[in-house]
Amino acid sequence: MKRRVELKNTQREIYYFRLRLVLSLGFVLVMLFTLLARFVYLQVVKHGHYQTMAENNRISVVPIVPNRGLILDRNGVVLAHNYSGYTLEITPSKAGDLEATIDRLAQLVEIQPKHRKRFRKLLAESHNFETLPIRNRLSDEEVARFAAQSYRFTGVEIKARLFREYPYNEQTSHLIGYIGRINESDIQQLDENETAANYRGSDYIGKTGIEQSYESELHGTTGIEQVEVDTGGRGVRVLSRTPPKSGNNLVLTLDARLQEIAEQAFGNYRGALVAIDPSNGEVLAFVSRPGYDPNLFIDGIDEDSWNELNNSPDVPLNNRALRGQYPLGSTIKPFMALAGLYYNKRSPSHTISDPGYYTLPGSSHQYRDWKKGGHGSVDLFKSIVVSCDTYYYGLATELGIDNMFNFLSQFGFGKKTGIDLEGEVAGLLPSQEWKQKRYKEKWYGGDTVSAGIGQGYNLVTPMQLAFATAVLANDGVGYRPHLVRQVQHSGSNEAPVPEAKPEFTVALNPEHLALVKRAMVAVTQPGGTAAQAGAGAPYAFAGKTGTAQVVAMKQGEKYDASLLSERNRDHAWFIAFAPADKPKIALAVLAENGGHGGSTAAPIARKVLDYYLLGKVPKPLPTVNAAEETEDD
Amino acid sequence: MIKQSLWPRLRKRFILHLDPVLLAALGLLILTGLVVLYSATDGNWSRVLAQVVNILVAFACLWLVANIPLHYLMRTALPMYVFGMLLLIGVALFGEVSHGARRWLNLGVATIQPSELMKIAVPLMMAWYFEKHEATLTLKNYFVAALLLLLPVALIARQPDLGTAVLISASGFYVLFLAGLSWRVMGVLLAAALGSAPVLWSMLHDYQRHRIMMLLDPTQDALGKGYHTIQGMIAVGSGGVLGKGYLSGTQTHLDFLPERTTDFIFAVYSEEFGLLGNLILLGMYLFIIGRGFIITANASTYFTRLMAGSITLTFFTYAFVNMGMVSGILPVVGVPLPLVSYGGTSMVTLLLGFGMLMSIHTHKKLVQT
């Protein structure tokens, strides 16, 4: 009985279900019929209209690429600009036999093997219907010659275009960076930021440096022109036009002349220099040597130049100032001294007796001072002036790594400075926790000893060390370092300089600061480690030398530069700020394999300070290196 | 002896649970898709090959699902739904933003888009729920089922992913409809929706209204989304009755058509094969939908009827929404042309659905004989 009822129910249910299914089918048919009607409307009724739009009188939306913003230094010197020129471009899909076409073109304009190579590379990366440049920067004569013969070439045309140029070449390469042709991964990036529409028609995008970091400011807004186009793709008339908006000009904090002088001061040394105005974080000079010619990259670098740059042992493509990580050596000492005073582990008058080495309690291992036999009786002031290692071995042990970490990280060690360039690295300020994580090993007393003189695990970038120096120079008040001073919006000439706001303040006792600063001034005076470089400076020149080991010395072995190959010699550091009582500039210099900070890095700093504070231009060629002439070709 | 028994054994193992009619129709449509893709990519074999790989993977999924007996399938409904909801909540909290929308969840090993999973999980869950309460259905049950639908849809619409939200809403609505939601309730809901529209409209911000207007009038955004619609309509319209011929679409090959391998691939097809081609394509879709209806009508349980009906109607919705947006009668929401557009995820989701249809069809037969 019960079963029969259920059966009946099910049948009724199925009946209703099928009814609804039939209704659904009806719905589907109606909707598909609607689509069909739409197709008939588009493809039969309005076919003529769309046919015309597609074939004869295609209204095409033509993007008008905006002019890229200029990059200027703080005094208005142009560091990146655009100039108009002619380029010979091929549309592969229209040109037919490409090799034959290029061969025939070669009879009219100069086409070198490297141009062909680059064209093939672009072809491999491109879509079929793009036009690709075979030659840039045609001379007027070449333009005229091709124009007369252009009827012989289908799919080849001369285009007037704006080219980017970096007049300072190598000198600003790591800072300004370069633009290059938009590639597959750039397109993905643009899609993700939903900015692809604004890049319709653009061929270039910032790849490194300021050009990359400030791409959104520099690019501008693409304009639109609705054009009636005939079958051949030639514009017949303009229907409407929304003009493009040029990219914004960037005024940098950089002083181009200072940059140039800093570059030259390096002579043949590889290395980096960053100079900052401590009162507001403006970066005045940003050098990484060697540089490269950024102009080579704009239209795709040719293979030979690329291999040369990429395989050079000098790694010119490496941005040392931003991404080079080195032990900071004795330049840590002023900061360590402040830590010792802060934690009450040292008083200004506390004196140690330096036998030339330090041993941990209960150990025989000798941590040697750089000076054999030691510095005798040393107080805090003297420990900075003569760069006494023994003093800081003991101080580090008493402070302990935790205090060191906490204190030093306030100055930005182990952290990115937040400069407005992409790709900055954080360096390394070691801590117990870090070592446990990285090496699965506990922190040893010996680790603290070497950390006390900036060796061991410590790593800094020149950018970081310059920043830390600026914070010290500015009495603990830190401003975020930045390279762009003003953004000049297109159309308006003046842009306010945004007022710098301090990012943080390190709590320091003014007396402690005054003592350490006085000691740093004494570094550049007779008896100090940079006395030679400081000789005759008419301003209060505060500095500290440092040496970063490249090869570790064995116990009892003596460092002798002459015995080591050039690449294994120590890196030379120098940090400085001046005038010491009211600093206008703070900097860090690194000379790779330069040996002593006092003899190689400090003179570079002196030249930079002399120019910046006194307007003094060094004599044409410093005597550091005789091979300088090769730089100027 | 062994030779003789080999074929039946192979048959039983590999093809017993496949529906040859549906399989042939799917194959034909997918093949058409590859032919169009070759044209849309300007003859880029590597893209076509990548799609072939997608297809093979998707067919493997189809075969696997087709071989799963239905009571196993039913058992996956709840865990799959709960898992999917957790992932959606995860996306809302920790999702990765891309293209201005938060749709992806980075699991460390891979990035996944949970809304895809929900395309299957939501109707499955709802069908399972109705099956469980089959004997005692009241209005309350419909309300709960609607809630099961609205929760994930709200999360997905917030990402925002309008296309997927529309498709899932449709698939869930179909389950409600086929489960017998009374006409009166549907009438009231419709009236409420129409009645509240002007009120909602007056509550919107100006920019939101502007956005909606932009969807309705594409010429207002000629470089962005509107550009797609305009160029799509030109491609379809200029195709005429017979089309411009394979590989000869000017819109396609002169770079006027954006997204021509994915959401706008129908424009490529339509331009090159014309109205005649469109008729054939509509015919293929109609045939597959019809076969789906037959399977649905013959399904043996409440659960399978609802599931099969929802899968079939959702497939139709996919096709309708895509062709509608390319030909300019619907706003542009990101929905691919089913089984034709380039892309692995939608191919897998769709063929998973068809695998279920086949399982529903063939496992029933086994029960009956």
ipTM: 0.91
Write out chain B residues lying below 8 Å of A194, CB-based. 99-100
Can you give the pLDDT at residue B266?
95
Can you give the pLDDT at residue B283?
96
Straight-line distance from the first to the last Cα atom of chain A, in angstroms, rounded to the nearest whole number: 107
Length of chain B, please?
A: 369
Q: Nearest to residue B228, comparing CAs of A184, A240, A197, A241?
A: A197
Are residues B275 and A54, on separate chains, in Cβ contact within 8 Å?
no
Can you give the pLDDT at residue A235?
64
Question: Do A235 and A572 meet the contact criterion of CB atoms below 8 Å apart?
Answer: no
Q: Which among B237, B293, B302 has CB closest to A25?
A: B293
Angle at A489 between CA A488 and CA A494, to 5 degrees: 50
Instruction: Kindly give, in sequence order, each residue whose CB lies less than 8 Å from that of residue A129, ignoring residues fewer than 6 positions away.
Output: A91, A93, B42, B253, B254, B255
The percentage of residues in chain B with a pLDDT greater than 90, rounded to a whole number, is: 47
Q: Which of A213, A279, A288, A330 is catalytic?
A: A330
Look up residue A331 and give its two tokens: 């330049």
The CA radius of gyration of chain B, in Å to the nearest whole number, is 22
Instruction: Kindly give, in sequence order, each residue whose CB lies less than 8 Å from that of residue B107, ignoring residues fewer than 6 positions away.
Output: none
Testing the interface with A: which of B236, B250, B261, B266 to mutate, by most A Cβ within 10 A? B236
Q: Which of residues 298-357 of B touch A (CB under 8 A)?
A: 302, 305, 309, 313, 316, 320, 323-324, 327-329
Look up residue A249 and give its two tokens: 């000009």
Residue in chain A closest to B97 (alpha carbons) equals A192
Instruction: Kindly give, in sequence order, each residue whose CB lies less than 8 Å from that of residue A430, ignoring residues fewer than 6 positions away.
Output: A401, A405, A447, A451, A456, A457, A458
Question: Do B313 and A22 meet the contact criterion of CB atoms below 8 Å apart?
Answer: no
- pLDDT 10s digits, B27-55: 999 999 999 999 998 888 989 999 999 99
Report the C-alpha gap between B43 and B247 in whole angstroms. Answer: 9
Domain ranges of chain B: 20-67+218-369
What is residue B255's three-state secondary structure? coil
CA distance B13 to chain A (A): 32
A231-245, B185-199, B211-225 — which is least confidently predicted?
A: B211-225
pLDDT band of residue B107 (cuts 50, 70, 90) is low
Determine how many CB atoms are found less than 10 A away from the CB of residue A182: 17
Look up residue A126 and give its two tokens: 């491109």
- In the numeric block, the tokens 């419909």 are attached to B142
B237 Cβ under 8 Å from any chain A Cβ? yes
In A18-149, where do the E strands start and end? 58-64, 71-72, 78-90, 132-135
What is residue A110's three-state secondary structure? coil
Instruction: Kindly give, in sequence order, each residue whose CB lies less than 8 Å from that of residue A52, ignoring residues fewer than 6 positions away.
Output: none
Can you give the pLDDT at residue B255?
62
Question: Do A122 and A132 meet the contact criterion of CB atoms below 8 Å apart?
Answer: yes
Considering Cα of A396, then A399, then A405, then A406, what sign does the dihedral take? negative
Q: Which among A32, A39, A51 has CB closest to B327?
A: A39
Testing the interface with A: which of B234, B284, B286 to mutate, by most A Cβ within 10 A? B234
A294, A424, A469, A480, B51 from A419: Cα distances, Å? 21, 8, 15, 7, 44
Are residues A47 and B302, on separate chains, in Cβ contact within 8 Å?
no
Residue in chain A closest to B102 (alpha carbons) equals A192
Can you give the pLDDT at residue B282?
96
CA distance B41 to chain A (A): 10
Question: Do B303 and B127 meet the contact criterion of CB atoms below 8 Å apart?
Answer: yes
This prediction's pTM: 0.61
Q: Nearest to residue A298, comparing CAs of A176, A454, A400?
A: A176
Can you give the pLDDT at residue A113?
84
A589, A615, B179 from A285: Cα distances, Å? 11, 15, 74
Report the C-alpha gap between B17 and B362 in whole angstroms. Answer: 5
Which domains does chain A show, CATH number per domain? Answer: 61-144+156-252 (3.90.1310.10), 256-305+325-485+504-632 (3.40.710.10)
The amino acid at B49: L
Report mean pLDDT in 10-residue bins for chain A, 633 residues. Answer: 50 86 94 95 90 66 84 91 86 79 87 84 69 83 85 82 87 91 84 79 88 91 75 63 87 93 91 94 93 86 83 88 92 94 91 88 85 88 92 92 93 92 92 90 89 90 95 93 88 71 89 93 91 88 89 57 71 92 94 85 92 81 40 33
Write out chain A residues lying below 8 Å of B327, CB-based. 35, 38-39, 42
Can you give the pLDDT at residue B220?
61
B234 Cβ under 8 Å from any chain A Cβ? yes
Alpha helices for A178-220 (secondary structure H): 184-192, 209-213, 215-219
Whole-number average pLDDT of chain B: 85
Report the C-alpha gap between B174 and A28 in whole angstroms. Answer: 12
Active site residue A330: yes
